[in-house]
Chains A and B, each alone.
Chain A
Amino acid sequence: MAIEVRIPTILRSYTGGAKVVEGSGDSINDLLSDLDGKYSGLRGRLVTDQGALHRFVNVYVNDEDVRFLGALDAKLNDGDTVTILPAVAGGAFGFAAAAAIFGHSASAAVVSGPGTSVPAASAAR
Chain B
Amino acid sequence: MKLFKIVKRDEASKLIFFLTPILAIILTLIFGALIFYFLGFKPLEALKFFFIVPINNVYGFSELLLKATPLCLIAIGLSFCFKSNNWNIGAEGQLTFGGIVSGGVALLFYGQEGFYILPIVVLAGAVGGMLYALIPAVLKTYFNTNEILVSLMLVYVSKLLLDYLVVGPWSNPEGFNFPETRQFSESARMPILFEGLRIHAGIFIALAAVIISWVVFYKTYLGFQMKVSGFSLKTAKYAGYKGKTMILLVFMISGACAGLAGVGEITGPIGQLHRMISPDYGFTAIIVAFLGRLNPIGIIFASLVVALTYLGAETAQIFLQIPKYTGQVFQGMILFFLLASDYLLFFKIKFLGMKKNELRH
Do the two chains belong together in a single complex?
Answer: no
